[in-house]
Amino acid sequence: MTREEIYKALDEVFEEVFDDESIHVTDTTTAEDIEDWDSLEHINLVVAIENRFGIKFNMSEVTSMKNVGEMVDIILERQ
Amino acid sequence: MNRFSIKELEIGHEESFVFELDERKVKQFLMITNDINPLHNDLEFAREKGYSEKVVYGMLTASALSTLAGVYLPGEKSLIHSVEVNFVKPVFLSRCPLTVVGKVTEKDDRFSRITIKFTIIDKMDEKVSRGTMKIGFLE
């Protein structure tokens, strides 16, 4: 998948997890930008992204990712 | 009370218990919630709507999920994250007690969280509700 395709798929995952079809994520999107992105939804989001892309983040990745861009970098590496 | 840690639980682990309900508990639920809906409190009304007796509050039966997580699976270390419940059949007191069954279907050590699929079954072996719970663990 290209970076653009990953973002398109990520939009769908975010829309489903946060039940909000208006969400469009970018490299700089963080939890500050999405109202319901709290610690519980973060777990749901990570698991949903893993299921969508067939990958597993390790714990240090989960805690160190600062924005969606860093998440996409990892997804691109794992393909 | 069970005291399972996440390490002690494997996918497929199952726990079950019997959940007793009676008229007194239905009235106590009414007092707590102030849900005065006649389907649960007025036999005539329930019969008019096609039920043989008053329908037990679905949320009262769902309160058994607190016990499922907090006492049985995983028990003492339980921290309920979310509950999704489908009320598939009405519950009647004449068909109580209910049996609550929970089974671990997912386990994530990174987040110390398990997913449980549960079913609640009445005395006639009819499934009255089913759903999923996501449960974390106290340190």
* Domains of chain A and any CATH numbers: 3-78 (1.10.1200.10)
The distance of A6 to chain B (nearest Cα, Å) reads: 24
Q: Is B114 part of a structural domain of the chain?
A: yes
Share of chain B above pLDDT 90, in %: 99
Q: Is B89 part of a structural domain of the chain?
A: yes
pLDDT value of residue B133: 98
pLDDT at B30 over 90: yes
User: Which residue has 């759903």 as its token pair?
Assistant: B131
Question: Edge-to-edge, what's the strand order for the sheet holding B14-19?
Answer: B14-19, B98-108, B113-121, B127-137, B78-87
B123-133 pLDDT, tens digit each: 999 999 999 99
By CA distance, what is B110's nearest residue in A?
A: A59
Domain span holding position B19: 6-137
Tens digits of pLDDT across chain A (79 residues)? 899 999 999 999 999 999 999 999 999 999 999 999 998 999 999 999 999 999 999 988 988 888 999 999 999 998 7
pLDDT, chain B, mean: 97
C-alpha–C-alpha distance, residues B134 and B105, integer Å: 10
When divided into structural domains, chain B yields a total of: 1
Q: Is B79 part of a structural domain of the chain?
A: yes
Q: Is B93 part of a structural domain of the chain?
A: yes
What is the CATH classification number for the domain harbouring B12? Answer: 3.10.129.10
CA nearest B129: which of B97, B86, B95, B79?
Answer: B86
The answer to whether the Cβ–Cβ distance between A59 and B110 falls below 8 Å is: yes
Q: Is B1 part of a structural domain of the chain?
A: no
Q: How many other C-beta atoms can be found within 10 angstroms of the C-beta atom of residue B63?
A: 15
Q: Is B85 part of a structural domain of the chain?
A: yes
Q: What's the ipTM?
A: 0.73
pLDDT value of residue A63: 84
